[in-house]
A and B are shown apart, each in its own frame.
Chain A
Amino acid sequence: MVKPRIILNSQTFQLTITRLSHQLIEVHNDFSDSVIIGLQPRGIFLARRIQKELCRILKKKNIPCGELDVTFYRDDFRKKELIPNKTNIDFIIEDKNVVLVDDVLFTGRTIRAGLDAMLAFGRPKDVELLVLIDRRLSRHLPIQAKYKGKTIDSIASEKVRVDWKETEGQDKVWITNEQD
C-alpha cells in the first residue's frame, strides 16, 4: 500500500487558482463576453472559486457562472450508478466565449458529455477547457485542456482526490491507491 501523496497543499492550491485566473484574464479581458460553466458534481467548486478570484482581481460584482450536469449525456451511465445533479445556467451562452471548468481531466469522457450537454443551451462562439489537474497519460478521447493547474503522470488504478475547503474543510489535492 503506497502512502497517499499530496500534490497541492492549501498554499500552492491558492497560488494555482490565482495563476489560472490571471491566465483567463489575458485571453478574456474583463469577461464582458465570456462565461464560466462548472461541471457537476466537483467542477462547480473550482468554477465558483475562479469566479470569486476573477471578481476580486477585476473588481467586478459578478461574472456569469453556471453549473452543468452531464449525467443524461454520458455514454457509461449503464456501467456505474450515477445520481444526476442540478443544472443551473441562468444566462444565455449563445455567441459567448465559454470556459468549461472541471477539477480533474482523466479519460475525457465527462468533458465529451459536457460539450453535448452545453450545446442544448445554445451555440457558443468559442469553448475552452480549464482543469485543476490534468492526468495526461490516461486519455480515451482527443480532448485537451487549455488552462491546467497541474499536470501529473499517474497510473489508472490510482485515484486523484481534490478536497475543498467548502466540503472537506481544507484545500488540497492528493493521490491515493484506495478504492472507495
Chain B
Amino acid sequence: MTKLSTKHLLGIKDLSEQDIQLIFKTADNFKDVINRPIKKVPSLRDITIANLFFENSTRTKLSFELAEKRLSADVVNFSASSSSVKKGETLIDTVNNILAMKVDMVVMRHPNPGACMFLAKHVDARIVNAGDGAHEHPTQALLDAYSIREKLGTVKGKKVVIVGDILHSRVALSNIFCLKKLGAQVMVCGPTTLIPKYISSLGVKVEHDLRKALEWCDVANMLRIQLERQEIKYFPSLREYTMMYGLNKSLLDSLKKEITVMHPGPINRGVEITSDVADSKQSIILQQVENGVAVRMAVLFLLAGRAEN
C-alpha cells in the first residue's frame, strides 16, 4: 500500500486502518528529517497551500505552517477576523477567490461541523480538515495515536481513556474513531451532562468515576472544558469539576501502575490537569506537539504526492 484511499482528509471516519498505518510510516521518515541539521526537504516545492482559519488556533496553525514550510510548499495564511468574511462573503466565494490565485491545497478550520466536507464537494483542491466545529479534528487524533504508538510500541490492545468535555470535543470524536480502527480499547469519562447520550454505540465504555477510569487505563487523554462552546451551564462550578475530574499528582501516584498522560492543548493548568502532572515524566504533552509536525508533513505529502492516473 503506497497511497491513501482518499483525496482529502476530512475526518478519520473516511480512513482505513491501512491509511493510518501508511501515514504513521511516512511520519517516521519525516520525524527523522525534522531532527536533521537541515530540517527541510524540497518535496512540495511546486505546491501552494492556503491555511484558512475561521476559528482561533495557535498550535494547529503553527504546526501546519511549519509542516508546510519544512516540505518547501508556498504558504498563504488567512484568518477570519481580518478578512472579507466580516463583509458578508460566503465560504465558497472566499475559497474560490483564493483558488483563483492558483492554490493547490486548503487547510481549513471552521466553527461549523461539515464545513470541510461541503468545501470538498464544491471546489477543486485537496482539503485538509484542521477542525470543524464539534465534529472532527483528524490530524490531532493521528498525532495522538502516533504518540501512543511511539511511547508504548503499539496502539493495538491498549486501553485509552478520554476524560472531560466529550460532548463539545472534536478531538474526542476523531480520537475514538482513530483508536478503534487501530484496535485499542476506548473509554470516555466525565460528568453525565458532558457525555453524549448514544456515545456507547461507537463501541466505547462510559465511566463517571475518574479513579476507576484511571485504574483501568494505560493512557489518559485529558481534554479541556470548552467553555466557548457551552451556552448553558453543564456543571455547577469549575472548582467542582476540578475536584471530580481534574488529574492531580496524588491521584496519579496512588494508582497501581504508571499511566501515560496526554493533553491536546491548550492546557488550563489547575482545571483538568495540575501543573506538576503536566510537567511530570509521565506526561507526553510536548512529544505530542513535536509529533504533530511530522504527522502533518506525512498527511500533506501523501495527499499532494498522490499520483494522478
Contacts and interface: CB of A to CB of B under 8 A. Distances in A.
A73 interface: yes
A4 interface: no
A69 B29 contact: yes
Given A73-B42, A73-B43, A81-B2, A121 B307 contact: no
A77 B37 contact: no
Interface of A: 69, 71-74, 77-87, 116, 119-122
Nearest to A82: B2
| SS class, residues of chain A in contact with chain B | loop
Nearest to B70: A72
Given A84-B29, A87-B32, A72 B41 contact: yes
Contacts of B301: 72
Contacts of A87: 29, 32
A27 B304 CA distance: 43
B121 interface: no
A81 B307 contact: yes
Contacts of B305: 77-78
18 contacts: A72-B71, A72-B301, A73-B42, A74-B43, A78-B305, A78-B306, A78-B307, A78-B308, A81-B307, A83-B2, A83-B25, A84-B26, A87-B32, A119-B38, A120-B36, A120-B37, A120-B41, A122-B37
B150 to A, nearest CB: 16
B3 interface: yes
B33 interface: yes
Given A74-B43, A120-B40, 4 more contacts: A81-B3, A84-B26, A87-B32, A121-B36
A71 B307 CA distance: 14
Interface residues of B, number: 21
Contacts of A79: 307
Residue from A73, A83, A119, A122 whose CB has the most chain B CB atoms within 10 Å:
A83
A72 B42 contact: yes
Interface string B1-15: 011000000000000
A116 B42 contact: yes
B2 A72 contact: no
A88 B93 CA distance: 47
Contacts of A121: 36-38
Contacts of B40: 120
A85 B28 CA distance: 10
B3 A72 contact: no
Nearest to B22: A83
Contact of A80 (B33, B41, B42, B307): B307
B38 A120 contact: yes
A6 B304 CA distance: 40
Contacts of A74: 43
